[in-house]
Amino acid sequence: MRGLINYFSGMFNGIISLVKGMGVTGKYFFTSPVTIVTQQYPENRKTLEMFDAFKGEVTMPHNENNEHKCTACNICQINCPNGSIEVVSKDVVNEEGKKKKELDKHHYNIGMCSFCGLCIKTCPSNALAWGQEFEHAMFTRNKFVKTLNNEGSKLIQKKGVE
Amino acid sequence: MEFNIYDFTSFTKWIDESLNAAMSPFWVMITEMAIIGVAILAFYALVGLFLVYAERKVCAFMQNRVGPNRVGPFGIFQTIADLLKLLMKELVYIKNADKLLFNIAPFIVITASFLAIAAIPFAKGLHAIDFNIGIFYVVAVSSLGVIGILLAGWSSNSKYSLIGAMRSGAQIVSYELSVGLSLITMVILSGSMQLSTIVEAQANGWFIFTGHIPAIIAFVIYMIAATAETNRGPFDLAEAESELTAGFHTEYSGIRFAFFFLAEYMNMFIVASIAATIFWGGWMPFHVPGWEGFNTVMDYIPPFIWYIGKTAVIIFIMMLFKWTFPRLRIDQLLTLEWKYLLPINLFNVVLMAFIVLMGWHW
Amino acid sequence: MNNEQLTAKILSFEPSAEVKDGLQYLTATVAFDKLHTLAKSLRESKDTNFDYLFCLTGMDYGDSLGVIYYLESTNLKHQLVLKIVCADKEKPVLDTVCDIWKTAEFLEREVFDLLGIDFNNHPDMRRIFLEEDWVGYPLRKDYSDNNIIVK
Amino acid sequence: MAEIIQDIQEQEYLINMGPQHPSTHGVLRLVLSLRGETVLSVQPHCGYIHRGIEKMCERLTYQQIIHLTDRLDYLSAHINNHAVCMLVENALGVELPERVKYIRTIMDELARIASHQLWWCSFGMDLGALTAFFYGLRDREPILDIFEESTGGRLIQSYYTPGGLMKDIHPGFQKRVKDFIKMFRKKINEYDQLLSGNVIMTQRTQGIGILTEEEAISFGVTGPSGRGSGFECDIRKHHPYSLYNKVEFKEILRTEGDSFARYSVRMDEMRESLNIIEQLIDNIPAGDFSVKMKPVIKLPEGEYYQRVEAARGEFGVFISSKGEKYPYRVKLRSPNFSNLSALHSIAHGQKIADLVAIGASLDYVIPDIDR
């Protein structure tokens, strides 16, 4: 007798649990246009805004005079765990006849970057920053190597020093 | 000739007569066969494509997604694009596969669903053939598909496929019983196996209402067993994507895979049509005895719309099953059939017979 | 059980053990051939009951190879570090402890794979991560790979 | 003929599950020998994505190690990083500001919830309930947004650094977390409706894949999987670190040891994590987000070990230092590796479908196994 009761109560409870589950999916089906969470990605490209902290790529901000803050000290290159940064510096003789190291090219290989942020954190002159760009797909690998400093850019001269 | 969307009998008769006037009876038969074949083929492809699209949209909405929305407005041409892709894909030949069986298997599956569609009444006077043993024929024919699945699993020389096929065999053999018995319950109620008669008998109330509790039980059992028979989730053990990768059609590609895919959706359509025909009155409008005005309004809706609407609702329920429940394990599947559905079904048949004997069913 | 009692207990099991206190965990160093008997008594004694081996790491000390076992007792809540140094660098062999702690079966395979320490009586001594035909043992200090991209 | 039949009956049916298989959650290969549907033995073959992180760490400074531990168990990246950072800080005797501890604890618990959510998704998917997969991912999104807003990364954050954090949290952090807690408390009940109570799911998991407590300890199966067998292994409770001795929380234990026990431990752990966050989120003290550390960290000579409770079990870092700026040897004790070693003992004698459910309930992440 108990077996029979168990048989029917088990069946009944089972059916109730199934109906409950169908309630959840059914509810979402009938409220679907409101509850859809998918972002329409390529369409919303214009309005899509990443968070400020978003780690898209390493960039070197330039001001309006095409000047950056990088002193070519190599600390980012040393701190990079993957060797994705290569700082090429050149020696420039300034007006006073002193030799001075200046940034020539700041190569950054995004294909090898693991976005750990150590270059940006350790930079003593805050020359690097995170960019918000996230569409990095390229057809060839050598396009991953970017030069961060603009053509003909110069180091910002600190005011009040001279 | 008068064309009437409420009754296709005169239309089909007109075609028959005008053909008879033009040629000999033998050629008339050939021509009619060809017309019906083309019509069903077109309908088949259309419904198949639409169902695939519908399923993707329905499941997307259940899952808070958008679903296909790239090809055409709301992605309505997505399935056509998919079909084109599948047509163009390479047919991969499997080393050491049984070539003949491997090639035949998809055709068996798709032919079985073709055969079943012939007996379904879409509207008054609109069916290919009106057997006097319609239900028997449908049950017999729709279970042929499993042969294709078994052959597919066996011939593709893949271990996953074989397990899938064997599961499918055990599953169909068991659930065929439940489908048959729940339909027999309704046959007892209607007193006929002819589908057109069954539909006509529901003019004053669908069987699910007039058949009292046994009809409801039979309907529930039929829904479960039919879902199992179409190899759809939660009974998709033969495919069992997370266990057997794709089960019996693991090794199929291109249009052969498309055949399996299409056949699955058409089987769903067929079992839903049968459920609609036998339990919900097929193309018969919803009538409440005594409410003349209401009945007249209902009669204005064409039978074909009624039929499609009912089928769609049942298909939606089956989709709801698939997208809500986890998959059953093979022993649970057999337990469900042999320990629950079959005894209840047998009891239900007796109950129905009793009700009919006592004359309580009208 | 505090560290002093534990020290005494270990010394009673294995008088030749060298027990060091004051580090992060109590550390006992024993000769490689005493490992299995000591481990067995540590596991089976009611007072020590080290039933949980939470880390097993192989070490390349430069001139020798060794294994460090981190043990814990789940009911007595004390930990112990067992340090073993293999006798021979060319052919390092130790006794397996996977009959005492089942988790050691995989961990010892890993040590075998990456450091080349062979474990006696292990039921399935194969490489676990690398290919069967891999030459060399990558975690050894003298291992060199020609394909290093980042220097 | 009789011989052939006997031969067939005794033959084992070998199947390769993986390396590409939907339910191995990555590139794990399981060699199954079957008799019919019954699994006779399971032989895991790992190493398909072995990257040699331990060897790589020997050439990296302690700050640089962080970006590799992120990539072990990427679902609990914060927690792995926490272990390395704590090891360095403890070895150097650095005292952290309270703010750092608060933020780290909250982030750890958020990571644990996110990880368990993803586990719930894949659990549903492995059982065939695909809808569960999408619901879980949908509700995981707010956590990823919280991470992204403050740390800049969604999956792999590299947020902790020896001595504190990479940057301070976003001003909107607290509000977002509170919104999430409110939202998720509702959703988790929905999860129960959809899957936990479902009769098919309970029958597929209850009494299936039993791991006894003794075996769990012997195999070192920790985390929710171990606690489902009654193994009290919550490092947060037994060896408290960060703020875990200040917050109140229960160690979730089940004694059945079956797949369902492992499932329900994780479900309850999500609720418990919400409680922990709720206790902390309003009280984040003001202060620095990191301590000034030397640019080149050199650990004193010696061997160090740090244990934390990652989302899948006990994660341990062993570092042996020779006093240089690079570690001499790094060993990462990954929870999944030990959990995987118990798979054969749990799964033999069960059905294929059960093996999939067991695998889902053990919740392995392959990069953590292979390292």
13-32 in chain C: CB under 8 A from chain D: 23-25
Choose from B320, B339, B342 for mutation: most chain A CBs within 10 A: B320
Q: Distance between CA D298 and CA D195 in Å, rounded? A: 50
| Mean pLDDT, residues D344-365 | 85
Q: Indicate the SS3 state at residue D160.
A: strand
Could you tell me if residue B130 is left (phi over 0), alpha (psi between -120 and 50 degrees) or otherwise beta?
A: beta
Domain residue spans in chain A? 2-35, 45-155
- For β-strands A85-93 and A99-109, DSSP reports them as antiparallel
B33 in helix, strand or coil? helix
- pLDDT, chain D, mean: 85
Q: From residue B267, give the alpha-carbon distance in Å to each of B109, B232, B261, B282, B336.
A: 10, 10, 10, 17, 22
Contact list, B340 vs chain A (CB under 8 Å):
11
Question: Contacts for C65-71 with beta carbons within 8 Å, 24 or more apart?
Answer: C65/C89, C65/C92, C65/C115, C65/C116, C65/C117, C65/C140, C67/C94, C67/C111, C67/C117, C68/D303, C68/D318, C69/C39, C69/C97, C70/C25, C70/D305, C70/D316, C70/D318, C71/C42
Unique residue bearing structure tokens 């010892």: C108
CATH number at D95 reads: 1.10.645.10
Query: Which residues in chain A touch residue C148, judged by CB atoms under 8 angstroms apart?
Result: none
Measured distance CA(D361)–CA(D356) in Å, rounded: 9
Furthest-apart CA atoms within chain C: distance in Å = 52
**What residues of B are in contact with residue A28 (Cβ under 8 Å)?**
61-64
Number of domains in chain D: 1
* D66, D81 contact by CB (below 8 A): yes
Cβ-based contacts of A25 with chain D (< 8 Å):
131, 194
The Cα of D302 is separated from the nearest Cα of chain C by a number of Å equal to 9
Residue D210: strand, helix, or coil: coil
Q: Where are the domains of chain C?
A: 3-89
Instruction: Report yes or no: A83 at the C interface, CB cutoff 8 Å.
Output: yes
D92 exposure class (CB count in 10 Å sphere: 0-12, 13-18, 19+): middle
Rounded to a whole number of angstroms, the CA Rg of chain B reads 21
SS3 A31: coil
**A150 Ramachandran zone, left/alpha/beta (phi>0; psi -120 to 50):** beta
Q: Which long-range contacts (CB under 8 A, 24 or more apart) does D180-183 make?
A: D180/D142, D180/D143, D180/D146, D181/D274, D181/D277, D181/D278, D181/D281, D183/D139, D183/D142
Within 10 Å of residue B309's Cβ, how many Cβ atoms?
Answer: 15
With both helix axes pointing from N to C terminus, report the angle between B25-62 and B99-117 in degrees, rounded to the nearest 10.
100
DSSP of C20-51:
E-SSSS-EEEE-GGGHHHHHHHHHH-TTT---
Q: In degrees rounded to 5, what are phi and psi of residue B126?
A: -115, 75
Question: Contact, B60 vs B67, CB < 8 A?
Answer: yes
The answer to whether B345 touches D220, Cβ cutoff 8 Å, is no
Neighbouring C-beta atoms of residue D345, cutoff 10 Å:
18
Contact C51 D318 (CB under 8 A): no
Q: Residue range B198-216: average pLDDT? A: 77
Q: Cα torsion at B122, B128, B134, B136 (round to 10°)?
A: -110
Q: Report whether pLDDT(D320) > 70.
A: yes
User: What's the gap in Å between the CA of D175 and the closest CA on chain C?
Assistant: 39
Chain B meets chain C (3+ C-beta pairs below 8 A):
no
Q: Which residue of D has its CA nearest to A56?
A: D152
Chain A residues interacting with chain D (CB cutoff of 8 angstroms): 13-15, 17-18, 20-21, 23-25, 37, 50-55, 79, 81, 114-118, 121-122, 130
Helices (H) and strands (E) in chain D, counts: 16, 8
> How many Å apart are CA B131 and CA B16, to the nearest integer?
18
- Nearest-angstrom CA–CA distance, B268 and B255: 20
Task: Please report which helix (H) or strand (E) contains residue D139, including its range.
Answer: helix D130-151
The label of the residue with tokens 């214009």 reads A46
3-state secondary structure of D56: helix
Determine phi and psi for A154, rounding to 5 degrees: -130, 165
Please report all neighbours of D, defined by 3+ CB atom pairs within 8 A: A, B, C
Answer whether D354's CB lies under 8 Å from B329's CB.
Answer: yes
The superfamily (CATH) of domain C3-89 is NADH:ubiquinone oxidoreductase Nqo5 subunit (3.30.460.80)
The share of chain C scoring above pLDDT 70, in percent, equals: 96
- Among A100-114, B81-95, C5-19, D190-204, the range scoring the smallest mean pLDDT is C5-19
What is the fold of A45-155? Alpha-Beta Plaits (3.30.70)
With CA atoms as reference, report the closest residue to A114 among D296, B27, D53, B280.
D53
In a domain, D31, yes or no: no
Strand partners, A92: A100
The per-residue pLDDT for range D234-255, each reduced to its tens digit, is 888 888 888 888 888 888 888 8
* CA distance linking residue D274 with residue C102, whole number of Å: 35
Per-residue three-class SS string for D64-124: HHHHHHCCCCHHHHHHHHHHHHHHHHHHHCCCCCHHHHHHHHHHHHHHHHHHHHHHHHHHH
Question: Closest to D125 (Cβ–Cβ): which among B62, B236, B242?
Answer: B242
Residue C65 φ then ψ, to 5°? -110, 150
Q: Check pLDDT > 60 for residue B102.
A: yes
Q: What is the dihedral of CA D201, D202, D207, D208, to 10 degrees?
A: 10
User: Which chain D residues touch B245 with a CB distance below 8 Å?
Assistant: 21-22
> Which value, in Å, is the radius of gyration of the alpha carbons in chain C?
16
Contact D115, D336 (CB under 8 A): no
Check CB contact of B58 with chain A, cutoff 8 Å: yes
* One-character DSSP codes across D240-300: --TTTTTS--PPP--SS-SHHHHHHHHHHHHHHHHHHHHHHHTTPPPS-SB----SS--PP
pTM: 0.87
Q: How far is A40 from chain D (nearest CA, A)?
A: 15
Q: Does B334 touch chain D (CB under 8 A)?
A: no
How would you write the pLDDT of chain A (162 residues) with one tens digit per residue? Answer: 788 888 888 888 888 888 888 888 888 888 877 777 788 888 888 888 888 888 888 888 888 888 888 888 888 888 888 888 888 888 777 777 777 777 788 888 888 888 888 888 888 888 888 888 888 888 888 888 888 877 777 777 765 444
**What distance separates the 2 farthest-apart alpha carbons in chain B?**
68
- How near does any CA of chain D get to the CA of B348, in Å? 24
What SS3 class is residue D311?
Answer: coil
120-149 in C: which are within 8 Å (CB) of A? 149
Give the residue from chain A lying closest to D190, CA to CA: A24
CA nearest neighbour of B326 among D128, A17, A21, A19:
D128
Q: Is B74 an interface residue toward A (CB < 8 Å)?
A: no
Q: Is the pLDDT of residue B3 over 70?
A: no
Quick one: average pLDDT of D347-356?
A: 85
For residues D40 and D12, the answer to whether their CB atoms sit within 8 Å is yes
Letter for the amino acid at D228?
G
Chain C residue with minimal CA distance to D306? C24
Render pLDDT for C30-88 as a digit per residue (tens, 0 to 9).
887 878 888 888 888 887 788 888 888 888 887 888 888 888 888 888 888 888 888 77
Q: Is residue D39 part of a domain?
A: no
Residue C18 vs residues A147, C15, C66, D322: alpha-carbon distances, Å: 58, 8, 15, 22
State the pLDDT at residue A160: 47
Across the interface, whether the CB atoms of C151 and A83 are under 8 A apart is answered yes
Which comes out higher in pLDDT, residue B240 or D237? Answer: D237
C130 to chain D, any CB pair closer than 8 A? The answer is yes
Specify the DSSP class assigned to residue C124: T
The residues with which C84 forms a beta bridge, in sequence order, are C30, C67
User: How much of chain D, in percent, has pLDDT values that exceed 70?
Assistant: 99
The Cα–Cα gap between B359 and C79 comes to 81
Flag if B324 and A40 touch (Cβ within 8 Å): no
Minimum mean pLDDT among B246-250, C100-104, D82-86: which range?
B246-250
Ramachandran category for residue B242: left, alpha or beta (phi over 0 → left; psi -120 to 50 → alpha): alpha
Taking CB atoms and an 8 Å cutoff, what residues of chain B touch A21? Answer: 324-325
Contact C110 D316 (CB under 8 A): no
Closest residue in chain D to residue A20, using alpha carbons only: D193
> Among C6-20, D78-92, D291-305, which range has the highest average pLDDT?
D78-92
Residue pair D309/D224 in contact (Cβ under 8 Å)? The answer is no
Q: Give yes or no for a contact between B219 and B298, defined as CB atoms under 8 angstroms apart.
A: no
Most D CBs within 10 Å: which of B59, B62, B64, B243, as the mutation test of the D interface? B243
Residue C136 to residues B15, C117, D277, D330: CA-CA distances in angstroms? 84, 12, 48, 19
Site of tokens 């509790």: B213
In the predicted model, what is the mean pLDDT of residues B300-315? 84
Is-contact B288 B200, C-beta < 8 A? no
CA nearest to B256, candidates B350, B361, B148, B142 = B148
Residues of the domain holding D58: 49-370
**What's the mean pLDDT in B251-274?**
85
Question: Which of the 8 DSSP states describes residue B245?
Answer: T
Looking up tokens 């569960």 gives: D132
Closest chain C C-alpha to A82 CA, distance in angstroms: 6
Q: Give percent of chain D with pLDDT exceeding 90.
A: 0
Q: Are D252 and D269 in contact (CB under 8 A)?
A: yes
